């Protein structure tokens, strides 16, 4: 992947095309290595109330149960109920790009997952993420970047955002992978590193260099392999669809 990225940076001159190439390289990796039960797309998330996220680089969703509301060569519109994770892809992550990602994240975290039929078996199943139990899988939010400013500086900016905006654990950027430097993830009170924060955890810098992608893949796969989708109730979206008879 590093060689593909370096080639794209050398050959492609247009900034927009470079960004698209970076995202495509990373999406191709995910498609190849994540389970086929997971779909990988770029596009927007929408909820049954008509709220829409900003354009997202990578959406990871349930490939078997997800109805695609709109699709063309460049983007798809996906019901938020069917999404498990979002990954923002950057060529280089600095303070400005980090803060832009936080704003994108808010448009995702603000969407509501409500369009479900709930059979009795799901009423007793809970997902344990962010230090609490959930009836419905909350969207995980990650950043993948090919380069960045110093990891310690980046972590300081992240902590500053968390504190000034008083973000709870489930409303943060969960983990950041910098391909040529390392990982900014979470360490809990027992000293275990994790993709997701929880009460009492703190940001942890893993200077993994050439193993960054492997560590990131391992951390996020721990959760993606557990993700489940109750029966999606598509009719909840009919009120937002204009039908002419």
* 112-158 pLDDT, tens digit each: 999 998 664 555 578 899 999 998 999 999 999 999 999 999 999 99
Residue 166 maps to a domain: yes
Statement: residue 3 has pLDDT above 70: no
Residue 243 maps to a domain: no
What share of the chain in percent tops pLDDT 70?
Answer: 85
- Amino acid 230: pLDDT: 87
Average pLDDT of span 23-46 = 93
- Mapped to the 3 state alphabet, what secondary structure does the chain carry? CHHHHHHHHHHCCCHHHHHHHHHHHHHHHHHHHCCCCEEEEEEEEECCCCCECCCEEEEEEECCCCCCCEECCCCEEEEHHHEEEEEEEEEEECHHHHHHHHHHHHHHHCCCCCCEECCHHHHHCCEEECCEEECCCCCEEEEEEEEECCHHHHHHHHHHHHHHCCCCHHHCCCEEEECCCEEEEEECCCCCEECCCCCCCEEEEECCHHHHHHHHHHHHHHHHCCCCCCEECHHHHHHHCCCCC
Residue 235 maps to a domain: no
- Amino acid 16: pLDDT: 43
Residue 244 maps to a domain: no
What share of the chain in percent tops pLDDT 90?
Answer: 71
Residue 99 maps to a domain: yes
Which range among 123-132, 163-172, 220-229 shows the weakest confidence by mean pLDDT?
A: 123-132
Residue 215 maps to a domain: yes
Contact (Cβ atoms closer than 8 angstroms) between residue 18 and residue 91: yes
Q: How many domains does the chain have?
A: 1
* Full domain range(s) for residue 54: 2-112+125-229
* 180-201 pLDDT, tens digit each: 999 999 999 999 999 999 999 9
Residue 236 maps to a domain: no
Indicate the pTM of the whole model: 0.88
Residue 26 maps to a domain: yes
């Amino acid at each position: 992947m590093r060689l593909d990225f370096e080639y794209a940076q050398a050959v492609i001159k247009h900034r927009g095309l470079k960004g698209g190439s970076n995202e495509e390289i990373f999406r191709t990796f995910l498609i190849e290595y994540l389970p086929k039960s997971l779909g990988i797309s770029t596009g927007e998330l929408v909820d049954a109330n008509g709220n829409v996220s900003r354009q997202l680089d990578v959406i990871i969703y349930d490939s078997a149960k997800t109805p695609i509301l709109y699709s063309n060569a460049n983007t798809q519109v996906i019901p938020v109920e069917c999404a498990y994770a979002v990954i923002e892809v950057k060529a280089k992550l600095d303070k400005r790009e980090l803060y832009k990602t936080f704003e994108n994240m808010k448009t995702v975290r603000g969407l509501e997952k409500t369009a479900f039929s709930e059979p009795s078996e799901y009423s007793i199943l809970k997902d344990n993420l962010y230090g609490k139990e959930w009836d419905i899988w909350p969207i995980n939010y990650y950043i993948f970047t090919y380069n960045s400013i110093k990891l310690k500086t980046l972590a300081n900016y992240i902590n500053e955002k968390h504190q000034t905006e008083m973000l709870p654990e489930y409303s943060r950027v969960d983990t950041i992978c910098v391909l040529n430097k390392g990982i900014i993830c979470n360490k809990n009170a027992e000293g275990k590193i994790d993709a997701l924060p929880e009460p009492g955890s703190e940001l942890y810098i893993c200077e993994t260099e050439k193993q960054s992608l492997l560590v990131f893949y391992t951390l996020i796969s721990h959760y993606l392999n557990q993700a489940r989708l109750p029966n999606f109730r598509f009719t909840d979206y009919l009120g937002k669809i204009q039908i002419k008879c």
